[in-house]
Amino acid sequence: MPYKNHYSIWIFTSLLILGGIGKVSAFPQAQYTIPEKINVYMYALDPEGRKGEPCQQGSTDYGCGSNSHPYPHSSSIMNVNLENDYLPFVIAQEMGDNATLEALKAHAVAARSYALHTVEFSQLNNSASSGGQVFLPYSITPNANHYRAVSETRGMIVVCNNNTDCEPSRRGYPAFAEHSAGHEGNFTSAWPWNNITRHLYLARVYDPIHTYANGGHGRGLSQEGTKRWAVGVVDGNNHYPQWDFRRILAHYYTGIEFQNVPDTINGYRFNIIEIGNLTPGEVIYDNNPVKDGLVVDVQNTGTNTWQIGKDFTDSCRGGTHNLALSYHIYDENNRQPACDYSGDNPGGGKCFERTRYLMCWQNFTTLRPGEVFRLTGIKIELPPELPPGRCYNIRWDIELLNNHQERTWISRLQQPPYNKDLWPPQDTRICYAHAGSGNGNPAPPKNPGSSTHTANTWSNEANITVTWDPPPDGLVSGYQYKYEGAGATIINDGQWHSTDQTFTTFTATQDGEHLLRIRSVLNGNTSNSVEAGPYLVDRQPPFLSVGSPTGSWVTTNNFSLSWIGGDNSSGL
C-alpha cells in the first residue's frame, strides 16, 4: 500500500505488450494527432483468449466471426474507424452491460490511448488476443451507453509526459494504458521490479474499493474497481467517494497527463480515496454541531511531487509548498458556499476554509504521484451562521502553501467563477437538523414509479426512468437503491448504492423483469425498502407467417386463409 503516515510504500508494475503497426518518431509531439482509422490484426482465439491462426474469409471461429456473422474480409487485417467501429465494441466486451456511464467513459479513454500507443510503438498487432484489447465485432453488439461513452470522450487520451517515468522518445504520445479485470488485495512477485522501467505510470496503487481476486494482472486501470468508483461505495463506517471518469483515470495511471479533456489540470491533482467514520448523508444536530474522529486518505494524482517534509525550523508550520487539507461548506446545489458568500471573494467566510490540516510527516519529505497520505483526527464543525433543517455538501480541497504562507487551492476555488473548477470537486453530503429530530429509522420513500413504464406491463422500450418522492416528514439525508433483474446498465451486485437524487435512469440490456428497490437514509439508519416495478422489457418483435394458401392460384370466390402468430418471447 503506497501510504505515507502510517504505512510503507509499495510501487510495483510490469509490461504486457499489445500489438499494432506504425512508425516510431524520435521526437515527442506537443499535441498528438489522433488518426481516424487504425489497423487491427484478427486471429482465431482459443477459450483462454490465446492467439491462433489469422482469420480467413468465411471463418466462424471465436475471435473471427460467429455462426450468424462469418468473417467477411479477404484479409486478416481490418482497417476500422477508431471512434465508431472499434472502441464501442472494445468497451462492450471488456466492461459488459452493467457499468455506469462514467465507468464506461473512463474505459473509453484508456482503450483509445492503449490502441494508439500500440499503433505508434508496437511491432506486434492490435488484436483481440489475451495479449491485447478484446475486439470481437461479429460476436457482440454494443448498447447505447457504449456508444455514448465513446462519443462524450471523443479525442480524449492520457499521455506520457516529461514528469512521467517513460522513455524520452515516447513523451507526448498516448500512454500504454493497460487495463485488467481486477487483482488480489496483496501484490505478488509475478511481475518483478526490473520489468517496469518504461511504464511506471502503470504502478499499482492503493485501491481499497476493490481488493478481491478476479483474474486480472493488477496493473493499470481495474475494470471492477472502475465500476465501483463510478458509483461510490459505503462499507460499514468507511466511505469510498463517487468519482467521475477523470478521477478514475488519474487514480489508476500514475502521473499521466490528459489531452483534450476539458476543465482539467495536470500538475496538481488529488483524490479523496477513503473517508473513515463518516457516512454520506449523516445527520449532525445543532446541540453539538461537530463530527470528529474522521480519517481521510488523500492520493496525489497529479504529475508533481508534493513536498510534505518539515521545514528548516524542524516544524510543519512553514516550508516551501507544504500542503494542507481543508474543507468548505457548500449549499446542496453546489453553487456557492452556504454562508458568508461575498461575490468574488468568499475567502474568510464562515463556510469557507473551515479548518486546515497540514500534510506534514517527519519520516518522509515527499509524496510522489500515486502515493497516499493518511490524515487522522479530522473534524467537521458547522458554524452558528449555518441554518439547520437542510442538507449541505462538505467540499474537500487541498491548499498549497509557499514560504510566505500564500495560498493556492488545487481546485482553484479562489478564482471566479466558483462553480467551474479546474479539477472536479470532492464532496460529502451531510444533513443538519434540530436536536431531537431524525432519531431512529427514517420513513421510506413515497410513490415509487416510472414515467416511462407501467409495472407488470410488457414494453419494448429499453430505457427505464424510476422516480420517487421523499418521505412525508422530509427527514432524509439520502437514498439507497438496489437493482434486481435480468440485466441492465446499473450495477447488479446485490449491494445497496447511494444517491442524493430522487430518480435514476438505466437501460435494460437483457429481456425480462427489471425491479428497483429504494430506501431512505438518515444518520446511518435506513428505512424499509419500497419497490419500483417490476418493469417487463422485451425488444423482440412479434412474428406472423401465413399458413395457407401457399402461393397457389385459387379458382373459387370463397377460400380459407390461415396464419400463425406469436410474441417471439417478446411478451407483446
Question: Which class for 442: exposed (0-12), middle (13-18), buried (19 or more C-beta within 10 A)?
Answer: buried
Looking at the domain assignment, is residue 509 inside a domain? yes
Identify the pLDDT of residue 450.
92
Mark whether 73 and 196 lie in a shared domain: yes
Looking at the domain assignment, is residue 393 inside a domain? yes
Looking at the domain assignment, is residue 125 inside a domain? yes
Q: Strand 357-359 vs strand 458-459: parallel, antiparallel, or unpaired?
A: unpaired
Identify the pLDDT of residue 23.
31
pLDDT tens by residue, the chain, 572 residues: 334 433 222 222 222 223 332 333 333 346 888 999 999 889 898 887 788 899 999 999 988 988 989 999 999 999 999 999 999 999 998 898 889 999 999 999 999 988 888 888 764 455 555 457 888 888 888 999 999 999 999 999 998 775 555 666 566 666 765 655 443 333 332 222 223 334 456 667 788 887 544 434 355 788 888 999 998 887 777 788 999 999 999 998 888 889 998 767 778 899 999 999 988 878 888 888 999 999 999 999 988 888 887 655 556 655 445 788 999 998 876 667 888 654 444 444 688 888 888 888 766 688 888 889 999 999 999 998 888 878 889 999 988 876 666 777 787 644 444 445 578 778 898 888 877 555 567 888 999 999 899 999 988 888 899 999 988 766 777 899 998 888 887 877 778 888 878 888 888 888 889 999 999 987 678 888 999 999 999 877 776 666 665 556 667 777 677 777 776 555 55
Domain stops at, among 433, 465, 487: 433
- CA distances 81 to 3, 36, 152, 451, Å, are 42, 6, 16, 37
Identify the pLDDT of residue 172.
64
Mark whether 159 and 288 lie in a shared domain: no
Looking at the domain assignment, is residue 571 inside a domain? no
At 355, list the grid cell. Answer: 479548518
Mark whether 59 and 206 lie in a shared domain: yes
Looking at the domain assignment, is residue 314 inside a domain? yes
Looking at the domain assignment, is residue 80 inside a domain? yes
Domain stops at, among 183, 208, 228: 228
Mark whether 166 and 215 lie in a shared domain: yes
Mark whether 417 and 474 lie in a shared domain: no
Looking at the domain assignment, is residue 438 inside a domain? no
Mark whether 301 and 375 lie in a shared domain: yes
How many CB atoms are closer than 10 A to CB 21? 17
DSSP string, 476-531: -SEEEEEEEES-BSS--SS--EEESSSEEEEEB-SSEEEEEEEEEEETTEE---EE
Alpha-carbon torsion 159, 212, 479, 490, what sign?
Answer: positive
pTM higher than 0.85, yes or no? no
Alpha-carbon torsion 470, 392, 232, 275, what sign?
Answer: negative
Mark whether 137 and 206 lie in a shared domain: yes
In degrees and rounded to multiples of 5, residue 69 shows phi and psi of -135, 80
Mark whether 381 and 522 lie in a shared domain: no
Q: Give the CATH number for residue 508.
A: 2.60.40.10
Identify the pLDDT of residue 551.
59
Mark whether 24 and 52 lie in a shared domain: yes
Looking at the domain assignment, is residue 454 inside a domain? yes
Mark whether 33 and 80 lie in a shared domain: yes
What's the structural domain count of the chain? 3
Mark whether 309 and 409 lie in a shared domain: yes
Residue 484: domain span: 446-537
Identify the pLDDT of residue 538.
86
Q: Give the CATH number for residue 426.
A: 2.60.40
Identify the pLDDT of residue 548.
62
Identify the pLDDT of residue 6.
31
Mark whether 427 and 455 lie in a shared domain: no
Identify the pLDDT of residue 400.
80
Residues in the chain: 572
